[in-house]
């Protein structure tokens, strides 16, 4: 595994980070989750990305990670980067959602207790909350760092204008934002317009989630919608309506290019992200050790010829 410096900081992150959004909750197989985390660490994936509401049920991903950490990784704490977040609905009532000081402080205390950690390496505001003054949210994150509950601050899914304001507030108190997290992949290019240039200006790292577009950028949907796939379910972020003939045409052509490069579509999609110097790390979500190993293979060949990049842009027009 290779590593990149996170923006202008001295912290390095692995090219791939393991996300615990799915497949690590109480509804999942604990032994499979444990094997994936341990194999990831063995392969040099030192960064594990959590949030307070990951599960299901909410909180269970942190609890299960804490059990695995205590049993297998506790003596490797200083070799790990462990992040968590708060910002989405976690518990009922007026204090279990958003960006208020009350919610964020309660959330990090709960998350530390569930994981059994003394501190998080990175703690994120999981989303911008328009109902809370930005100053309140950012001051709370600054205080979390000053209290030693986290080493670094991260932001996720903030509009560019609010991210800029937040960066300025943090710099004024000499507690820089380390990293910005957002959805970015071959089919979703929105961060390129404003956020990536903004992060570069302020020296932020950029970490990607949903690099395979919820599975669209794999060979799973090349011939329709499998019955056991995410898109076949009535809930979730990927719906049948998202898989249009136009999308299938694009991923079919991308798959042809990937095969010519000697890669799977998933490997090429990860390589395309890692080819961009603006990307510090890519968060992968896996359901098996085999899938984890397949994703790691995507880091072995991340160079593209100029013609290949032009061809990709032509396909995605």
CA angle 241, 247, 253 (to 5 degrees): 155
Which stretches of 30-71 are DSSP H helices? 30-42, 60-68
> Residue 152: helix, strand or coil by DSSP?
strand
Residue range 101-150, pLDDT digits in tens:
999 999 999 999 999 999 999 999 999 999 999 999 999 999 999 999 99
Q: Is residue 158 pLDDT above 80, yes or no?
A: yes
Q: What is the pLDDT of residue 239?
A: 55
Q: What is the pLDDT of residue 215?
A: 87
Q: Above pLDDT 70, what percent of the chain?
A: 93
Cis previous bond, 233, omega within 30: no
Kindly indicate the confidence band of residue 214, based on its pLDDT and cuts at 50, 70 and 90: confident
In order of their start, the domains of the chain are 3-212+276-300 (3.20.20.100)
> Residue 83: helix, strand or coil by DSSP?
strand
Q: What is the pLDDT of residue 230?
A: 56
Q: What is the pLDDT of residue 191?
A: 97
Residue range 60-83, pLDDT digits in tens:
999 999 999 999 999 999 999 999
Residue range 271-285, pLDDT digits in tens:
999 999 999 999 999
Sign of CA dihedral 213, 96, 93, 169: negative
Which stretches of the chain are DSSP H helices? 30-42, 60-68, 101-115, 134-146, 160-172, 195-202, 245-260, 265-274, 289-297, 306-316
Separation between Cα atoms, residue 84 and residue 301, nearest integer Å: 30
List of residues 6+ apart from 29 with CB closer than 8 A: none
Q: Is residue 45 pLDDT above 70, yes or no?
A: yes
Separation between Cα atoms, residue 37 and residue 18, nearest integer Å: 8
Among residues 174, 175, 163, the alpha carbon closest in space to that of 127 is found at 163
Q: What is the pLDDT of residue 244?
A: 83
Residue 205: how many CA atoms within 13 Å on its side-chain side? 24
List of residues 6+ apart from 155 with CB closer than 8 A: 124, 125, 163, 166, 177, 179, 180, 181
Residue range 221-268, pLDDT digits in tens:
676 665 555 544 554 555 566 678 898 999 999 999 999 999 999 999
Per DSSP bridges, beta strands 3-5 and 12-14 are antiparallel
Q: What is the pLDDT of residue 235?
A: 46
The alpha carbon of residue 288 and the mean position of all alpha carbons in its chain are separated, in whole angstroms, by 18
Q: Of the segments 195-204, 211-220, 238-247, which one has the largest average pLDDT value?
A: 195-204
Q: Is residue 42 pLDDT above 60, yes or no?
A: yes
């Amino acid at each position: 595994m290779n590593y990149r410096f996170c923006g202008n900081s001295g912290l390095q992150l692995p090219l791939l980070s393991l996300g615990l959004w799915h497949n690590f909750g109480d509804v999942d197989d604990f032994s499979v989750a444990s094997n994936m985390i341990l194999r990831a660490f063995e392969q040099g994936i030192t960064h594990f990305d959590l949030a307070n509401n990951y599960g299901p049920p909410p909180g269970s991903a942190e609890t299960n990670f804490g059990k695995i950490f205590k049993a297998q990784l506790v003596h490797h704490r200083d070799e790990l980067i462990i992040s968590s977040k708060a910002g989405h609905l976690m518990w009922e009532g007026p204090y279990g959602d958003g960006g208020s000081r009350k919610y964020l402080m309660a959330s990090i205390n709960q998350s530390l207790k569930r994981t059994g950690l003394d501190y998080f390496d990175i703690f994120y505001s999981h989303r911008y909350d328009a109902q809370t003054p930005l100053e309140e949210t950012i001051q709370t994150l600054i205080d979390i760092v000053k209290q030693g509950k986290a080493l670094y601050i991260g932001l996720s899914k903030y509009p560019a204008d609010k991210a800029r304001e937040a960066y300025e507030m943090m710099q004024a108190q000499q507690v820089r934002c380390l990293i910005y997290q957002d959805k970015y992949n071959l089919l979703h290019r929105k961060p390129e317009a404003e956020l990536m240039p903004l992060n570069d200006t302020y020296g932020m790292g950029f970490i990607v989630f949903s690099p395979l577009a919820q599975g669209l950028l794999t060979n799973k949907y090349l011939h329709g919608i499998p019955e056991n796939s995410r898109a076949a379910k009535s809930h979730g972020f990927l719906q049948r309506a998202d898989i249009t003939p136009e999308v299938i045409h694009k991923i079919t052509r991308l798959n042809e290019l990937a095969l010519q490069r000697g890669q799977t579509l998933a490997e090429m999609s990860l390589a395309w992200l890692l080819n961009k110097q603006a990307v510090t790390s890519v968060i992968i979500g896996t359901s098996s050790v085999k899938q984890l190993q397949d994703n790691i293979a995507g880091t072995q060949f991340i160079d593209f010829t100029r013609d290949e990049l032009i061809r990709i842009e032509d396909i995605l027009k």
